[in-house]
Chains A and B, each alone.
Chain A
Amino acid sequence: MTLFLQRVIDGLQNGAIYSVIAIPMVLIFKATTLINFAQGELAMIGAFFCFIFAVQAFSLPVWVAALIAMALAALLGMGIERTMLRPFDPTDHLPVVLITLGIFYIVNAVAGDIWNYQAQVEVPQLLPWEGTWKFFQSEDNPLGLRIQQDAVAMIIALLVMLFILWLILSKTKMGLAFRGVSSNTESSRLVGIRVGRILSFGWGLACAFGALGAIIVAPRITLQPQMMLLVLIYALAAAAFGGLDSVYGAAIGGFAVGLLNSLVLGYISDIDAVSSLSAAPLIFPVLLLLGVLWFRPAGLFGTKSISRV
């Protein structure tokens, strides 16, 4: 029983990490109907921006470095949208998706070059709590149930970020315009919305969110250029599972994928044949993604689109 609970807790922790990338992906999908494969890498570089300002080149307080990093990540995202994506026909997805893949490689390679693909020892700690709560320790089970405080802090932080995102999207004029563009781009033009500016806003918001999320989870998953590589697959599965155009779906999807993955992996790893596969961690998210696309492409909370032909 304790093992089960431990897996649940670990799953929720991981789920928060997946949500950090899934939510910005959904934001960009809502605005442009395209999947940004570079989302993880842009978040990673945001975490490194924070590292530069807090540790490497300057010694600013972590929260200041984090704010600067968010702003830089937002500018980077907006710049990418403006120069590399906007020139293309928005209805032809293939070139644009390939470009985001290209950006994925470029950002990863640049970061790898600068920081030698090495995990940084001194990681900026935005949330100060360390330490572990322990429950249910007994003779048979000396480890008991371990809940790490920084993991709980991470989950709470993510929920706060989600709340702020909700405020921005539903209570501000820009947020309303963003939802308008997401709902009906042509009509948005007809009410005077400058769609280009809103797309920039969407990219900026998504990248700032992703960067902050990466900064928060970096101490947990190590700060290194490869940190978001695996996360991307989970985030994609989470976003699809929750519904590609639903922000809450992405959050719920993230936690759900984390939970399910932890449970499934925990139990199938007991099968020797599976645990010897190096790609074992990928089994679940890939199968989930396939399952979603096959049975319910709209995901849990996405808009089912039925076109009258």
Chain B
Amino acid sequence: MSELMLEAKGIEASYGLVDVLRGVDIEVKKGEVCVILGANGAGKTTTLRAICNMPVVKSSGQVTLDGKDISRADTGAIVQQGVAHVPQGRGTFPELSTLENLQLGAYVRKDSKGVDEDLDRWFQMFPVLKERKDQAAGSLSGGEQQMLAVSRALMSRPKLLLLDEPSLGLAPIIIEDLFNTFAQINRDEGMTMLIVEQNANLALNLANSAYVLEAGGIALSGPAEQLKNDPAVQEAYLGA
């Protein structure tokens, strides 16, 4: 039981009258990178939103974080419990400065000294953020905003990092850098990560385990290596 950081059982979700998820089970072990693949509309973003109990989607099911039941908790409480969610499209605060974006990332924390230390650490890992720290976040490039979004999420010192399509809209070379950074964060911090991605190749290279979502249900799951070599996956998602 204590081996799992996240356990989601029987997640159902809908937007108004449209059912999107019809009973999804996801498990993420501590310290591992887990990836959810699937086509557009399969329900990947909805899964992350349901885990965070975001009001935009009506969801039900059981969600446990590090042994604690967060099924009925509101988004703010879930964040306080240690979940950091980087939404699709980065979710930066465009009118606020880079520094203010990061300060908001640390909103739930009470240790100002630790926050300053973390600011330094992420500025070191992403020097471009330090360069642009007083600039409005909306004026940063796509790649820089993604780095900002990830740093902001990490500022809350989460137990679980949720990333929704981090590669979306970014140039290939930036995406490569980004995924190397994810690997580094997973290695150095032992950060548990659940990543939703359409870029199956990159995702499966990074991940330890993976799920394939199709039309609101899990079609396949297993270790990343296994799914990478699965001919069905190769045909549908890896362009083989």
Contact = CB atoms under 8 A, between A and B. Distances in A.
B199 interface: no
B93 interface: yes
B220 to A, nearest CB: 29
Interface string B147-171: 0000010001000000000000000
Contacts of A94: none
A187 B56 CA distance: 12
A285 to B, nearest CB: 28
11 contacts: A177-B107, A180-B107, A182-B95, A186-B87, A186-B91, A190-B84, A191-B107, A191-B156, A192-B80, A193-B76, A194-B76
Contacts of B92: 184, 187
Interface string B70-91: 0000011001100011010001
B93 A190 contact: no
B100 interface: yes
Contact of A189 (B54, B93, B94, B95): B54
B54 A191 contact: no
Interface centre among A179, A192, A193 (most CB of B within 10 A): A192
A48 B140 CA distance: 49
Contacts of A132: none
B105 interface: yes
Given A173-B107, A190-B85, A193-B104, 7 more contacts: A180-B93, A183-B93, A183-B95, A186-B87, A187-B104, A189-B75, A190-B75
Interface of A: 173, 176-177, 179-180, 182-184, 186-194, 303
B76 A192 contact: yes
B87 A176 contact: no
Nearest to B137: A183
Contacts of A191: 79, 104-105, 107-108, 152, 156
B203 interface: no
B76 A303 contact: no
Nearest to B95: A183
Contact of B95 (A177, A192, A303): A303
Contacts of A186: 54, 56, 87, 91
B105 A183 contact: no
B214 to A, nearest CB: 26
A136 to B, nearest CB: 45
B52 interface: yes
B62 interface: no
B112 to A, nearest CB: 10
B96 interface: yes
Nearest to A170: B100
Contact of A187 (B80, B91, B100): B91
Contact of A184 (B55, B94, B107): B94
Contacts of B100: 176, 179
Interface in B6-64: 52, 54-56
